[in-house]
Amino acid sequence: MIVKLLWAFVGSLLVTTVTGVFLVPYLRKKKAGQSIREDGPVWHMGKSGTPTMGGIMFITGIVFALVTGGIEEAAAGDWRHFIIFGFSIIFALIGFLDDYEKLKKKQNLGLTALQKFALQLAAAIVLILLLRLEGHLTTRVYIPFTAASFDLPDWLYFIFAAFVIVGTVNAVNITDGIDGLAAGVSLPVAICFAAIAAAWGYSSVGLFGAALAGGLAGFLIFNFYPAKIFMGDTGSLFLGGAICATAFALNMPLLLVPLGIVYIVETLSDIIQVTYFKLSHGKRVFKMAPLHHHLEMSGWGERRIFTVFTAISACFAILTFFGVWQRPGV
């Protein structure tokens, strides 16, 4: 199994990298450049025109890894890796529509919040139904680092799952605010998923985790500061979908709490800022939200933010793995 995981990682990395070599100049030629938020840090305006929709790169790498390495699992009746991928692609398509609208309008405004929410909620329901029908998901919720678990009624589990999925996807999207950040933070998460799946003998889920890690590593070659390409909503929504779908495929959605600590903090900083701004009639807690922008405004460079946030994510990924790896898959 280790050999298959290594193949998924390396194969995805190589194909992502090769795709990037051709995709970046193609998108530049097509003038598929990102419009920068006008209310963001002023120095970000220099990034205007950087090609977006770079998520296509690691999506291509993952497809290659799954098709060349995951057929045996599918033939044996385990389709979880393809279910995760299919779910993630639905979110990528939502992101693509958003990116396309932004490019068409030449501004950082795509689909409306209501349109995004409706599409994401529909996709969440489809994922839960598929995993339930395939027998890979129960309504028992396991609490990481403990032997405790509890059952939820079907209707309540669906509400819980939809909230977790939509929340996770948008939290990853919020984290994608400076060069390399979302990919860097998510790389340890993907590796952790692959390691947990391998420890539990979940070959198909492990393959997807390894392929995702390889794709992100390859993408960082082009996305690390100064970025030659952005993943866009095409990539960030795919990434959010992949992360939450993998947690549900392991039947352990609460793994997202320790593993997604950076996403959670980033999202909370945004919620706190907006809430306090409204309640205080214009006052702010942070210089700018989410947190990575506050740190930028406080003098932190993008490389420093990337390094610190990725290191935090890696530490929590290690903690999560050693907290759950001996527990049998449920």
pLDDT digit string, tens, across residues 202-233: 999 999 999 999 999 999 999 999 999 999 99
Nearest in space to 307 (alpha carbons), one of 224, 218, 212, 221: 224
Contact 201, 78 (CB under 8 A): no
Contact 177, 290 (CB under 8 A): yes
Q: Which amino acid is at 151?
A: D
The stretch 256-268 carries a mean pLDDT of 96
Residue 68 has phi, psi (to 5 degrees) of -85, -20
**How far is 43 from 228, CA to CA, in rounded Å?**
16
pLDDT category at 28 given cuts 50, 70, 90 is: confident
pLDDT at 330: 45
**Residue 150, strand partner residues:** 141
Contact 74, 82 (CB under 8 A): yes
Q: Which amino acid is at 326?
A: Q
Contact 294, 287 (CB under 8 A): yes
User: Which has the higher per-residue pLDDT, 178 or 148?
Assistant: 178
Spell out the residues 6+ positions from residue 282 whose beta carbon is closer than 8 angstroms to its own: none
Nearest in space to 248 (alpha carbons), one of 121, 130, 154: 130
Contact 68, 10 (CB under 8 A): no
Mean pLDDT across the chain: 89
pLDDT at 281: 86
Nearest in space to 238 (alpha carbons), one of 261, 219, 264: 219
Contact 8, 211 (CB under 8 A): yes
The stretch 166-177 carries a mean pLDDT of 93
pLDDT category at 188 given cuts 50, 70, 90 is: very high
| 291 has a pLDDT exceeding 70 | yes
pTM above 0.85, yes or no: yes
Question: How does DSSP classify residue 151?
Answer: E
User: Which has the higher per-residue pLDDT, 4 or 39?
Assistant: 4
pLDDT at 327: 65
- The per-residue pLDDT for range 45-70, each reduced to its tens digit, is 667 778 888 999 999 999 999 999 99
**How far is 226 from 326, CA to CA, in rounded Å?**
41
Contact 306, 179 (CB under 8 A): yes
| 279 has a pLDDT exceeding 70 | yes
| 298 has a pLDDT exceeding 50 | yes
Question: How does DSSP classify residue 33?
Answer: B
Helix, coil or strand: residue 147: coil
**How far is 131 from 84, CA to CA, in rounded Å?**
9
Alpha helices in 140-231 (DSSP H): 154-175, 181-200, 203-223
Residue 33 CB neighbour total at 10 angstroms? 18
| 44 has a pLDDT exceeding 70 | no
Helix, coil or strand: residue 150: strand
User: Which helix H or strand E contains 141, and what residues bound it?
Assistant: strand 140-142
pLDDT at 215: 98
pLDDT at 37: 56
Helix, coil or strand: residue 66: helix
Spell out the residues 6+ positions from residue 267 whose beta carbon is closer than 8 angstroms to its own: 167, 170, 171, 174, 290
The stretch 8-27 carries a mean pLDDT of 96
The stretch 159-182 carries a mean pLDDT of 94
Among the ranges given (95-104, 139-148, 149-158, 202-211), the one the predictor scored with the smallest mean pLDDT: 95-104
